[in-house]
Amino acid sequence: QKEVEQNSGPLSVPEGAIASLNCTYSDRGSQSFFWYRQYSGKSPELIMSIYSNGDKEDGRFTAQLNKASQYVSLLIRDSQPSDSATYLCAVSPYTGTASKLTFGTGTRLQVTL
């Protein structure tokens, strides 16, 4: 079982719609969760971090965390063509000493006009 799993997509949504991106993780001890956006040929940039169960909103973005289900999601409201990118979920398990940061394979989002 992969440590962090995402559907590779592409996920296609029309402009103005809500895009829903999902991620599951295997380590129940994970404490820190991140969503990154990556444009083709560029490095990832942080969108959201979330640490507690529930929702966290920042502008058009909402991150949702459910530790019991080992599930984290990202909602993008009013999707824009500029949101077309690959979205990477990252998880930081707690190991007591080292701080490994593991990424999923990413979901490619296409926002159509």
Residues at the interface with other proteins (CB under 8 A): 6, 8, 31-32, 34, 42-46, 49, 51, 88, 90, 92, 94, 97-106
**Looking up tokens 């058009």, which residue turns up?**
60
Cα angle value 17/23/29 (rounded, 5°): 145
In whole angstroms, give the CA distance from residue 44 to residue 20. 19
Query: How far, in Å, CA of 70 to CA of 23, rounded?
Result: 9
Nearer to other proteins, 22 or 92 (CB): 92
**Which CB sits closer to other proteins, 70 or 102?**
102
Q: Which is nearer to other proteins, 20 or 32 (CB)?
A: 32
